[in-house]
Structure 1
Amino acid sequence: MTDQKSLVIDFPYFKSKFKKVNIMKHSFWVVGSAFLMAYACSPAKKEEKPLQFTVNNQASLALTDKPVVIKKGEIPGLESQAGKWPLVVSVGDTVAAQYDDTDGDGQWDELFFVTDLAANDAKTFTIGWADEVPEFAPRTSVRFGKREGADIPVHPAQADTLPADGLPKSVGYQPYQTDGPSWENDKVGFRHYFDGRNAKDLFGKKTSAMSPEDVGINSEGAVEDNYHVMHDWGRDILAVGNSVGLGGVALMIDDEPARMGVTVNDAVNNVEESVFQIVKEGPVRSVIQYNYNNWQPQDRSYDVQEVSTIWPGMYAYKNAVSVEGLQGDETLLVGLVNINNDHELSEIEVNDEWVVLLTHDQQTYEKEWWLGMALILPRSVYEGYTEAPKEGPLSNTYLAKLNVENGQPVEYFAAAGWELSDEQFTDRDYFTKYITNLTKQLSADVTVSWEE
């Protein structure tokens, strides 16, 4: 147990101190409700009010862990706080939030948190001020490790560049922990094959805690596939093969599907340079980015960017894909692996904004557990789906077809519900209702208004 530490929290016209409490190595901050009550009842300051804002749910639908984004410039009085951090306080407790630099200038510009809201309801929050950023128990995480040689231990990394001739088949060893980055929230985890395959895999979780940092390496620090067996936290559950997994991307070029990257048996990539970086790893939002420079299918050249984002409370992640170098006969393809699925694909038009492609079967390794998977796709650019061949470099997958314009990002969500995360996911109707509700929540608007 680390030493307790005091955090100075300022509300308008007075200052107090509260203890930072450490539980199971994770920290959270507590602000006594009696503190706010005493302030509200103070005769001397009764006419003064702390800075408050209200989040309004405009939908007739209850929202769970709904993201709230406040731009730095929207916070009244921030300039007068001499570099202090705005804390979001609700019912006397500090809300887990983070301060993100979204434009890459080295300064935070966005305050992000999640909250629950009843249908057509509103919730009021108070802003306090702190000298340092609080630590919150993580509900999202990113894990990325690499090694520079077969006999060199894996070390954590924030970024990496993979050249075309840097694949495992070429260098003689797997350079990446879990074959590439993995990311998760309190519900589900995912991983990306950054070793040239560029497919997206699935970790089923049995606990809301973040999985250990040493998944995919052994006690000597060597890369090891130790995640295809059950652990307390869960395991890798999805057979990906030569598909692009759950939410991976490809292009349809002149009516032929083209894989961005290669298979495990190839020694040289068709992408000249693949660049990965962790943009943000935070308690309530994590963001990772890939840039595939000079991808060369069919004597063409494209630059592709992917940005994957995850926040708590949903069995899903968000992906944004943009392509440079389009010639006009291309269609963006998003994959939904179909290796162990013997049941029909469902196509569901949820509302004017989103359409869903959904499968549900015992589509895990050895068909051992029930697993539902879904793509939540923007209806404005959705052009149906097709199936890849049963064999070949891009195979065994449904492929959603999306209209894409040069340099313009297309955003979608990939979701999965495993029976050991929630036993009701064994039922197709239950999973379908979950995905439909999630999709409606993603469509729901919330607004932020500041009290004068």
Structure 2
Amino acid sequence: MNTKLYLSVALSSILLTSCKVGQKATENTIVLKNKSNLEVPQKAIAIKRSQLSLKDVANDFPILIFNNDTIPAQVNDLDGDGKWDELFLVTDFSPNESKLVTLKWSKANPKFPIKTSVRFGKREAKNLPVQPATEEVLMASQVYKKLGFQKYQTDGPTWENDKVGFRHYLDGRNSKDVFGKKIPAITPENVGVNNKSEVEDNYHQMYDWGRDIFPVGNSVGLGGYALMIDNKIDRLGILTNDTLNNVEKTTFKIVSEGPVNSVLGYQYQNWEASGNKYQVQETTSIWPGMYGYKNTVNIDGISGKETFLIALSNINNQKGVKEIEAGDWVCLIQHDNLGYNREWIMGTAIIVPKKDYLGYIEAPKAGQLTDSYLAKFKIRNNTPISYYAIATWELSADKNFRDPAYFTNYVTTLAKQLSAEIEVKINK
């Protein structure tokens, strides 16, 4: 991507030498303070460009040094104007720990281990090869059933970190699926295509890295969403056999892809639901260490009669769902043989904000959205709502996820860690 700005890894001494950090360049110190009494591993922090002194270094790359080690970080251009908007980093905190970090600047692009990734490929005709892409525009009539062929590698974009992977059905369905990973390495770029660069469902078989493991059916998967209007559920998108989307125009873009953060953006123009039209902005973000991703949804056109629904697909679940408050969040947790044909033990959950939470319902047995638990929310016009979708399986690197109590503890502990505030002070 021409718009990507990566910060990707090396040992601190090698990094500082190879990047030729100027001794006379502008330097800041940054104090990062964990204001909670919790241990918070791999905490994601975003520092806005406007918070930093950029005199004489506007085109340079920031380098963060703590105790002579370099903190993995990257810069993200979120609005696509060619200038980065935020410095994104991931680091560990002890309870109440303060870190005094030195910010230096480099002309060269530093390197860090790649721990997040986005993969997206498409073709414009059935007889054309799949090509890597960074963006897409899909009109209402360009859906899978109407086209007569699957346009997208893995049905749409996939994103992952060192723990787990996900995919979004961009072909009109807008469901979210799970790739179970057995190793921390990023999965191959050719997942979902054959040696002729044709779209091929080759990810429902086991590889060294793992496979697609989660049945979605007519749900919207793990972390998909809908609106409920006058007790009618309207999903964003359609089912496999529908030939016309309920979204007039879908725009997708890989916003950023780097070693510690990958960001995907979706715009849904004129989503028709119960006779109303809505404009939707969705942002998906993933960083290392967490068995999940963050999703943020903002809807324009809300009149006050709508209830926002966040979905947790419950296909193959025979043990029900737990509802547990943790920190600023409510966790809906399920653990069972949730994999295809009940072959693998999985834990899946959604971590949703306690504020404006209205409880949950189970989706109807028939209709456009089924086989799900649906968390209900009061939603306000043009007001973003953020939540997390979590997935593990028994073949994860951590085999303890076979145990339902272990998974429940993981989810609730993560929710408390997400609630932990990190204070950022810039000394210019």
The structure-2 alpha-carbon separation of the partners of 1:57 and 1:370, relative to structure 1 and needing over 3 Å to count, comes to: same
Residue 105 of structure 1 and its aligned partner are, at CA, apart by 2.9
Alpha-carbon distance between aligned partners in 2 of 1:239 and 1:109, rounded to the nearest angstrom:
37
C-alpha separation between the residues in 2 aligned to 1:86 and 1:140?
A: 19
Partner of 1:370: 345
- Give ranges in structure 2 of 5+ residues lacking alignment: 1-6, 18-22
How many residue pairs end up in the alignment?
A: 414
Kindly indicate whether residue 359 of structure 2 is the aligned counterpart of residue 388 of structure 1.
no
Identical aligned residues as a percent = 50
Mapped partners of 1:84, 1:279: distance in 2:
20
Q: Residue deviations 1:320-365, cap 9 Å, x none?
A: 11112223211111110011000021010113x2111111101110
Give the aligned residue type for 2:250. S
Q: Matched residues in 1 for 2:12 and 2:92: separation?
A: 20
TM value normalised by structure 1: 0.88
Q: Structure 1 residue aligned with 2:335, among 360, 379, 394?
A: 360
415-424 or 320-329: which moved more?
320-329
Residue 27 of structure 1, CA deviation? 6.7
1:383 shift after superposition: 0.5
Match of 1:30 in 2: 11
Matches within 5 A, 1:37-56: 51-56=28-33
Alignment partner of 1:415 is 2:390: yes
Within-5 A mapping of 1:390-409: 390-409=365-384
SS of aligned partner of 2:276: coil
Q: 1:82 to 1:412 in 2, by over 3 A?
A: closer
In the alignment, the residues of structure 2 paired with residue 125 and residue 451 of structure 1 have an alpha-carbon distance, to the nearest angstrom, of: 10
Is residue 260 of structure 2 the alignment partner of residue 284 of structure 1? yes
- Cα deviation 1:13-42 (Å, max 9, x = unaligned): xxxxxxxxxxxxx97233339x99xxxxxx
Equivalents in 1 of 2:61, 2:281: separation in Å? Answer: 32
| Alignment root-mean-square deviation, CA | 2.1
C-alpha contact 1:381 1:402 (8 A) present in aligned 2: yes
State the shift of 1:79 in Å: 0.5
**Match for 2:274: what amino acid?**
Q
2:12 counterpart SS class: coil
Alignment of 1:260-275 (within 5 A): 260-275=236-251
1:301 match: secondary structure = strand
Counterpart selection for 1:131 from 107, 110, 122: 107
Letter in 2 for 1:64: P
CA distance in structure 2 between the aligned counterparts of 1:69 and 1:152, rounded to whole angstroms? 40
Mark the runs of 5 or more structure 1 residues left unpaired by the alignment: 1-25, 37-44
Per-residue deviation, residues 355-405 of structure 1 (Å, max 9, x unmatched)? 111111011101111111111111111101111112222111111111111
Give SS of 2:401's match. Answer: helix
Give the secondary-structure state (helix, strand or coil) at the position aligned to 1:79. Answer: coil
Task: Tell me, yes or no, if the aligned pair for 2:8 and 2:72 is still in contact at 8 Å.
Answer: no
Question: Which residue pairs with 2:297 in the alignment?
Answer: 321
1:157 partner letter? A
CA distance in 2, matches of 1:51, 1:405: 39
Q: Do the aligned residues in 2 keep the contact of 1:238 with 1:365 (CA within 8 Å)?
A: yes
* Distance in structure 2 (CA, Å) of the matches to 1:405 and 1:50: 42
Q: Secondary structure at the match of 2:359?
A: strand
Tell whether 2:31 aligns with 1:62: no
State the distance in 2 between where 1:82 and 1:403 align.
Answer: 42
Shift, 1:416, TM fit: 1.0
Question: CA–CA distance in 1 between the matches of 2:319 and 2:363?
Answer: 17
How far residue 252 of structure 1 moved from its aligned partner, in angstroms, is 0.3
| Structure 2: distance between partners of 1:132 and 1:118 | 32
Instruction: Tell me the equivalent position of 1:42.
Output: none
Q: In the aligned structure 2, how far is the partner of 1:157 from the partner of 1:114?
A: 27
Cα distance in 2 for residues equivalent to 1:115 and 1:395: 39
Q: How does 1:140-155 map to 2 (within 5 A)?
A: 140-155=116-131
Deviates more, 1:367-376 or 1:240-249: 367-376
CA distance in 2, matches of 1:160, 1:82: 31
Aligned to 1:14: none
Structure 1 residues 393-436: Cα deviation after superposition (integer angstroms, max 9, x where no partner):
21111111111111111111111121111211111110010001
Provide Cα deviations, 1:152-197, integer angstroms capped at 9, x if missing partner: 0100111101111111211111000000011011111110001011
| Residue pair 1:29, 1:93 contacting (<8 A) in 2 also | no
Tell me, yes or no, if the aligned pair for 2:304 and 2:379 is still in contact at 8 Å.
no
Residue 41 of structure 1 corresponds to which residue in structure 2?
Answer: none
d(CA) in 1 for partners of 2:60, 2:156: 37
Counterpart Cα distance in 2 of 1:329 and 1:375:
24
SS of corresponding position for 1:215:
coil
1:75 aligns with 2:52: yes
* 3-state SS, counterpart of residue 251 of structure 2: strand
**Letter paired with 1:31:** S
1:6 corresponds in structure 2 to none
**Which whole-Å CA distance do the structure 2 matches of 1:75 and 1:298 have between them?**
46
- Asked whether the equivalents of residues 335 and 399 of structure 1 are also in contact (C-alpha less than 8 Å), the reply is yes
Partner of 1:87: 63
Residues in 1 aligned to 2:210 and 2:330: alpha-carbon distance in whole angstroms: 30
Aligned to 2:161: 185
Q: Which has the larger radius of gyration?
A: 1
Q: Which has the bigger relative contact order, CA under 8 A and spacing at least 6?
A: 2
1:110–1:50 distance in 2 versus 1, CA, 3 Å: closer
CA distance in 1, matches of 2:299, 2:30: 39
Shift of 1:255: 0.8
Structure 2: distance between partners of 1:229 and 1:393: 28
Aligned residue identity for 1:374:
A
User: For 1:426-441, what aligned pairs fall within 5 Å after superposition?
Assistant: 426-441=402-417
Amino acid at match of 1:321: V
Taking the aligned partners of 1:347 and 1:134, their CA distance within structure 2 comes to: 43
> What is the distance in 2 between the residues matched to 1:280 and 1:206?
25
> For 1:109 and 1:82, how far apart are their aligned partners in 2?
11
